[in-house]
Structure 1
Amino acid sequence: MNDADQANPAASQPIVVWDGAPKLQNPLLLVAFEGWFDAGECATGALSWMRRRSEARRVCRIDPEEFFDFQESRPHIEIADEGQRRIRWPEIECHVVPAAPPHDLVLLSGVEPRMRWRAFCEGVVDIASRLGCELVVTLGAMVAGVAHSRAASVKASAQNGDLANRLGLDRPTYQGPTGIIGTLHDTLDRASLPVVSLRVGVPHYVAGPPNPKGMRALLARFETVTGVSTGYRELDSSVQAWEQRVDEAVARDPEIVAYIEQLEADADRAAAENLPSGDDLALEFQRFLAEQRQLGLDNPESGESA
């Protein structure tokens, strides 16, 4: 133990607490955090959806002690069925979902950490590396000037130029203050782990959770890009019911109705964008990962030096 660890005993505690590290088939890591970048709980809701509809099992968790201000993100007291009291701390857990070939999925989600972002992001890299994840996908949702009655638009970007060109993704252009997702992307880039960002726009006049339409849009775009089935069409009835509730609520205010009509017109003008077919995108995605695997075989020490 060095002097810094002696001064701060908690620093010697592991960031990632493992239940086990199974051998997985070409896994992809999906990440979403509750908080500022999760309007309508679309991102964490999408991961919860995949977790609920599969035989997911937890493989590890990130210890919350070093990453939260518990006066801000307070733990909750719960009463168990047998009458015992227990404290539920803010959680960031990682589950494995056996998916259809060729990929298993690793789902990391929970409350957005408040402190020590660099150390936290190194913990995420540790999870991705130990489980052999080939690529990371971050999910997010932001309030935007979009209409609830039109298709939810998902923006997708990747820093890796080859990956972005093949899949028709944007390259990041934002400069300015960032959050945990931006910090994580930087850490993954420096660790030479390819990462894709998917983020959906949520109507600012109805940004509260749940928002099944935003969830469905994120799941659909992820499936289109990777070819991994998410079952997003099973959310269609929930989306229809949500749209009907919003229609009924906004109909009482003529000013909001007029504003939404303007948003609908804007969306219709932008709908002319032509995207590659899902099959084409998934094929290019698999080719990219196959080439990355071959590079790893040709350069077995590249992962250690990254």
Structure 2
Amino acid sequence: MRDPGELYELTADAVMVPEGLHLVAGLTGFADAGGAVSQFTEYVLSTLDHTVVATFDADALLDYRARRPIIYFDQDHLTDYQPARLQVYLATDEIGQQFLLLAGFEPDFRWEQFTAAVLELIDHFKVSSTTWVHAIPMPVPHTRPIGVTVSGNRSDLIESMSVWRPHTQVPANALHLVEFRLQDVGATTAGFVLLIPHYLADTEYPSAALSALESTSAATGLIFPTDRLREQNREFVARIDEQVQENGELGKLVGTLEQRYDAYMEGNPLRSPLTDEDGELPSADEIAAELEKFLMIKRTRDDGSGS
């Protein structure tokens, strides 16, 4: 395997990083249901003081043809090229606690070398624990708290927070491999998989980001400002609830999901809260299409451009 150090460069600010910080990670590009990871990392970077301490080589890790960067066309010339970034930040939470944040795109290439590079950085900064978040769509209702599946070697978090513990094969992402290698060397690590309502998987669901923040707080003790996000979530849920009330099929879907969720959480011997019955519920695509149509109409009305 190539030298892991080829994939990243430390910045001048790297010397400012004290030993023993928590590393928090969230990478975008795969199954980011509800925009949980993208909202989570963007919100942290927009609300907390931070500085870049390491930058990964995008040319070595990113498939540009699959995930093209953005460049702006201003009438007759190009401006403001925005390359994809994968970086480690030194950030400070709401009460002054410092932590490291690994955020950006999920690598398309060189996963083993990238994983070795992350472990090298963890060793370099003497990281105390690594916590990462991921989100997948599941047939669960938006009217109940977002559940999580916890992996890693934090038995305290697994016992207190993991609501679904399947025996299954799943498509891996790069942070799965990082966690796997950290377990091999006995480093403290926890992964949170957020279980997002399948009919909201293609939206930017503020509750998903809130769940990511709350899970990270539970694992690290870090404190994040959430007032703005909670207000956005109240407005978002109000719109969804309005559509559910107006659409019988949506109401039937949510009601059935609520019954199954509640039965599972009360200890009913179901295999999971995700059991479905053939032909009873609209598909995720159908429900998402209905919601997107409703939200588009609602946005038009709110902007004053509708009748």
Category of TM-score, reference length = shorter chain: 0.7 to 0.9
SS of 1:96's partner is strand
Equivalent of residue 255 in structure 1, options 249, 253, 269: 249
Which letter maps to 2:254? I
Distance across 1 between alignment mates of 2:168 and 2:45: 32
- Greater Cα offset, 99-108 or 253-262: 99-108
1:151 maps to 145
Q: Is the Cα–Cα contact under 8 Å of residues 19 and 125 in structure 2 kept in the other structure?
A: no
SS of 1:14's partner is helix
2:286 maps to none
2:225 maps to 231
Change (3 A) 1:271 1:237: farther
Unaligned runs of 5+ in 1: 6-10, 274-306
Distance across 1 between alignment mates of 2:193 and 2:104: 17
Q: Is the Cα–Cα contact under 8 Å of residues 45 and 215 in structure 1 kept in the other structure?
A: yes
- List aligned pairs for 1:133-282, cutoff 5 A: 133-158=127-152, 160=153, 163-165=154-156, 168=159, 173-272=167-266
1:111 maps to 105
Change (3 A) 1:69 1:166: closer
Distance across 2 between alignment mates of 1:167 and 1:150: 20
- Greater Cα offset, 108-117 or 22-31: 22-31
Q: Is the Cα–Cα contact under 8 Å of residues 26 and 103 in structure 1 kept in the other structure?
A: no
Return the offset for 1:25: 5.4
1:17 aligns with 2:9: yes
1:289 maps to none
Return the offset for 1:32: 0.8
Return the offset for 1:268: 2.6
Return the offset for 1:42: 0.7
1:123 maps to 117
- Greater Cα offset, 137-146 or 170-179: 170-179
Which letter maps to 1:123? A
Return the offset for 1:100: 6.5
Report sequence identity in percent.
Answer: 19
Which letter maps to 2:143? S
Return the offset for 1:132: 1.9
The alignment's TM-score, normalised by the length of structure 2, stands at: 0.75
Change (3 A) 1:25 1:259: same
SS of 2:182's partner is helix
1:31 maps to 25
Q: Is the Cα–Cα contact under 8 Å of residues 147 and 194 in structure 2 kept in the other structure?
A: yes
Which letter maps to 2:159? G
Distance across 1 between alignment mates of 2:128 and 2:173: 24
- Greater Cα offset, 207-216 or 189-198: 189-198
The alignment's TM-score, normalised by the length of structure 1, stands at: 0.75
Unaligned runs of 5+ in 2: 268-307
Q: Is the Cα–Cα contact under 8 Å of residues 26 and 133 in structure 1 kept in the other structure?
A: yes
Return the offset for 1:53: 1.6
Distance across 2 between alignment mates of 1:215 and 1:166: 19
1:59 maps to 53
Aligned residues: 260
Which letter maps to 2:115? C
Change (3 A) 1:150 1:98: same
Return the offset for 1:38: 1.6
Query: What are the Cα deviations for residues 182-217 of structure 1, in whole angstroms up to 9, with x where unaligned?
Result: 222122223432210112111111212311101111
Which letter maps to 1:15? L
Distance across 1 between alignment mates of 2:246 and 2:146: 23
Q: Is the Cα–Cα contact under 8 Å of residues 17 and 125 in structure 2 kept in the other structure?
A: yes
Return the offset for 1:154: 2.2
Distance across 1 between alignment mates of 2:115 and 2:5: 16
Return the offset for 1:103: 4.8
Q: Is the Cα–Cα contact under 8 Å of residues 28 and 103 in structure 1 kept in the other structure?
A: no
Distance across 2 between alignment mates of 1:202 and 1:157: 17
Which letter maps to 2:150? A
Q: Is the Cα–Cα contact under 8 Å of residues 157 and 172 in structure 1 kept in the other structure?
A: no
